[in-house]
Amino acid sequence: MDWLLEESNPSVRYFTLRDLFEKRVDDPQMVAAKSGIPESDVVKKILHRQSPEGYWEDQFNPYHPKYKASYWQIMTLGQLGMDRTDKGVERACEYIFQFQLDDGGFSSYTPERALKEYALLREKGKKLTSQNKWASSLVFEHQYSCLTGNMVAALIRIGHTNDPRVKKALKWLVRIQNKDGGWLCPYWRAHVRDTHGCFYGTICTLEAFSEIPKGNLTKEMIQTIERGAEFLLMHRLFRADHHDYKVINQSWLKLSFPWFYGYNVLRGLDVLTRLGYIRDERLNDAIEILHQKRQKNGTWILEGAPIGRMQTDIEMKGKPSKWITFVALKVLKRLSLDVKSK
């Protein structure tokens, strides 16, 4: 606890006080930690690289370069505890809302990027439909459930819970849920023959719903959450339900931060326990892995991160991680409180 409460990382200190010590928002320690987040090295580096208009890197490409463009910075800032009271953060949010489509989803393509791709393909002799029709079709196709879930989660954390644009995105996520309870990218041609839900789309979407205050959840949202949670639980969070419960992807056993579109067992545990799933025995395999990965000194190691690909690295890979340790303790606290209540 002393390590997590060090003032050198005000974000982890703030969330530790809030979620592990359950301090009130107006507690002097909470106020001090919150005020220190914008002054942290990581946040200052990210905001220093923001343009006056609110974007990072390419003005017309919020998705690329991956982990450095605008979408990814809003996800990161939301996870670090920044909110819309900061002018740079609010400017970034307003900038990014322009890329939300009428259906409600966020696309990895913009018309400008699509038109550039159209021109390149025409130069190579490809026969295509009219450029505007082709470009708009590409933008529509690349509305991703993982991207939209991540953006909704970040926007809610930042303070846009009641924004009509966020509510529209949530309705879209409810509407496109897959038959098996998971999520796919509904219009992407790469998924056109897929019937099995995608873990990435599912965890990002469920995380968005986990950020909604319980009193704001509609009956339709609750049913959506139940179906999505069952999709993860039937796989015991990382196992193939029809193949002797073999591990689906070994990389999912690596604990990573920050969370973007990827999946790992700790993220699955965090989202599901936050949604209230703490008594289901199908969590046990993932919980056992979490216990096994704990170091003798009580910490957990950062096993995965896009090091060198973000605006700034947050922690060192292969070293004890305050972020992973905090989330792991948060999960175990939820589970231990349930045991005490029985």
Q: Is residue 237 a part of any domain in this protein?
A: yes
* Contacts with 168 (C-beta within 8 Å, 6 or more apart), sequence order: 100, 104
pLDDT value of residue 191: 81
Tens digits of residue pLDDT in 51-69: 999 999 999 999 999 999 9
Rounded mean pLDDT of 214-223?
96
Q: Which amino acid is at 292?
A: Q
Give whole-number Cα distances, 259 to 16, 28, 130, 175, 282, in Å: 18, 29, 38, 24, 23
Q: Is residue 49 a part of any domain in this protein?
A: no
Query: Using CA atoms, how far apart are residues 146 and 267, in angstroms rounded to an integer?
Result: 14
pLDDT over 60 (residue 339): no
Q: Is residue 78 a part of any domain in this protein?
A: no
Calculate what percentage of the chain has a pLDDT beyond 90: 92
Q: Where in the sequence is the domain holding 309, given as residue range(s)?
A: 98-341
Q: How far apart are the first and last CA of the chain?
A: 26
Dihedral sign from CA coordinates of 82, 83, 87, 92: positive
Indicate the number of domains in the chain: 1
* Contacts with 82 (C-beta within 8 Å, 6 or more apart), sequence order: 37, 38, 43, 89, 158
pLDDT over 70 (residue 173): yes
Q: Is residue 315 a part of any domain in this protein?
A: yes
Rounded mean pLDDT of 220-249?
95
pLDDT value of residue 342: 47
Tell me the CB-side half-sphere exposure of residue 249, using CA atoms within 13 A: 12
pLDDT value of residue 22: 97
pTM: 0.95
Both structure tokens of 55: 């974007």
pLDDT over 80 (residue 340): no
Tens digits of residue pLDDT in 200-218: 999 999 999 999 999 999 9
Residue 198 sits in a domain whose CATH number is 1.50.10
Q: Is residue 182 a part of any domain in this protein?
A: yes
Query: Using CA atoms, how far apart are residues 283 and 174, in angstroms rounded to an integer?
Result: 24
Rounded mean pLDDT of 10-17?
98
Tens digits of residue pLDDT in 290-331: 999 999 999 999 999 999 999 999 999 999 999 999 999 999
Are the C-beta atoms of residues 290 and 332 closer than 8 Å to each other? yes
Query: Using CA atoms, how far apart are residues 317 and 336, in angstroms rounded to an integer?
Result: 29
Mean pLDDT of the chain: 95
Tens digits of residue pLDDT in 90-114: 999 999 999 999 999 999 999 999 9
Q: What angle do CA 322, 325, 330 make, to 5 degrees?
A: 120
Q: Is residue 44 a part of any domain in this protein?
A: no
pLDDT over 90 (residue 192): no
Q: Is residue 329 a part of any domain in this protein?
A: yes
pLDDT value of residue 209: 98
Q: Is residue 6 a part of any domain in this protein?
A: no
DSSP 237: T
Query: Using CA atoms, how far apart are residues 57 and 77, in angstroms rounded to an integer?
Result: 16
